[in-house]
């Protein structure tokens, strides 16, 4: 028997994917696998190919207007999404390079304000534009193109599930993540105290918690300024 967290019901993910097997190993591994076993969240995979009506079970066709590649047909996607239950607080998301960038604020919103998240994984040259009538938002993993939408869908589920109560053993660690305060995370060190001539900063071995906190805060600021000047400028504009 598995124990469960007092979150009733679990956050439901419905993934519309042509390749259900893609998710098998990642969703059985590590903290995410444990969270699903404990019913903190649940993931259901629906294959739009199962909703095709032609003898070849086609889910794609040539684009109107010409051009290279194929486009995912709207009818199997509509049928797949419409076959799903509809929970009260529901988001239907298409994973696409044209969407809003996936960020920590979005992950928090889905973790805290949703009962159900439907993820549509695109393929080929894209998805028929009429699928947009099903959507509440479009989300991108970044400014690059992948072979499929399953990769960003998996990233989104991972990011959301780790925020749900009970997934991470020490919830306080979530408050120190990169992007939680608008800054990147500070450097982390563990034993040995010296490795190949590189020593752990003395302040971290001092036992002075106030000095350690000040050092870590400054490291966050310096690291963000050097590595992500865009985030740093945004952080400077935030009210203190």
Q: How far is CA 4 from CA 13, 72, 174, in A?
A: 17, 38, 20
d(CA 32, CA 39): 11
Catalytic annotation, pick one of 177, 205, 217, 234: 177
Asked whether the beta carbons of 47 and 22 are under 8 A apart, the reply is: no
* Tokens standing for residue 176: 């120190």
d(CA 73, CA 61): 7
Q: Is 138 considered catalytic here?
A: no
Neighbours of 20 (CB within 10 A): 14
Q: Is 162 considered catalytic here?
A: yes
Q: Is 97 considered catalytic here?
A: yes
Burial label, 226 (beta-carbon count in 10 A; 0-12, 13-18, 19+): exposed
Catalytic annotation, pick one of 39, 75, 97, 223: 97
Contacts of 146 (CB under 8 A, 6+ apart): 152
- Backbone angles phi and psi of 148, in degrees to 5: -160, 165
Q: Which residue is listed with tokens 């925020």?
A: 163
Q: Is 74 considered catalytic here?
A: no
Catalytic annotation, pick one of 14, 48, 152, 162: 162
- Backbone angles phi and psi of 43, in degrees to 5: -125, 130
Asked whether the beta carbons of 34 and 136 are under 8 A apart, the reply is: no
Catalytic annotation, pick one of 42, 60, 75, 125: 125
d(CA 144, CA 9): 36
Asked whether the beta carbons of 111 and 166 are under 8 A apart, the reply is: no
Catalytic site positions: 97, 125, 162, 177
């Amino acid at each position: 028997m598995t124990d469960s967290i007092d979150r009733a019901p679990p956050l439901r993910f419905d993934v519309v994917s042509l390749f259900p097997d893609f998710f098998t190993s990642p969703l059985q591994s590590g903290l995410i696998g444990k969270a699903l076993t404990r019913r903190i969240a649940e993931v259901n995979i629906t294959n739009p190919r199962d909703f095709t009506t032609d003898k070849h079970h086609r889910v794609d066709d040539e684009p109107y207007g010409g051009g290279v590649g194929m486009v995912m047909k709207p009818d199997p996607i509509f049928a797949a999404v419409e076959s799903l239950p509809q929970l009260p607080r529901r988001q239907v998301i298409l994973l696409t390079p044209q969407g809003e960038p996936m960020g920590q604020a979005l992950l928090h919103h889905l973790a805290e304000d949703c009962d159900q998240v439907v993820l549509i994984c695109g393929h080929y040259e894209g998805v028929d534009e009429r699928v947009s009538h099903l959507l509440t938002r479009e989300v991108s993993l970044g400014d690059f193109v992948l072979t499929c939408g399953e990769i960003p869908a998996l990233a989104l589920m991972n990011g959301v599930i780790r925020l749900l109560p009970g997934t991470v053993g020490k919830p306080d660690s979530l408050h120190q993540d990169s992007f939680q305060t608008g800054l990147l995370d500070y450097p982390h060190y563990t034993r040995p105290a010296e490795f190949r001539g590189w020593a752990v900063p003395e302040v971290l071995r001092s036992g002075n918690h106030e000095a350690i906190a000040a050092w870590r805060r400054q490291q966050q600021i310096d690291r963000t300024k050097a590595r992500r000047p865009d985030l740093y400028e945004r952080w400077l504009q935030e009210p203190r």
